[in-house]
Amino acid sequence: LRHFFTYETTRFVVVKNWSVGIINRIVQVAIIAYFVGLVMYFSFACMTL
């Protein structure tokens, strides 16, 4: 029961490499755009029915 109420914090990693940072941001934007695109697609698809 004691372990249930304890927690550990995550470690932060700082990567000072431009190419890794750019790839990271591109992946983040792609994931957000994908989900926003799905929401827009399904919301407009429901309107046409």
Helical segments of 1-49, H only: 18-48
Are the CB atoms for 18 and 24 separated by under 8 Å? no
Q: Give the whole-angstrom CA distance, residue 44 versus residue 38.
A: 10
User: In the predicted model, what is the mean pLDDT of the chain?
Assistant: 83
Binned at pLDDT 50, 70 and 90, residue 41 comes out as confident
Q: Indicate whether this model's pTM tops 0.85.
A: no
**Range scoring the smallest mean pLDDT among 1-5, 7-11, 20-24, 33-37:** 1-5
pLDDT band at 48 (very low <50, low <70, confident <90, very high): low
Is the pLDDT at 49 greater than 70, yes or no? no
Which helix or strand (DSSP H or E) is residue 15 part of? none
**Average pLDDT for 10-25:** 87
Distance CA 35, CA 41 (A): 10
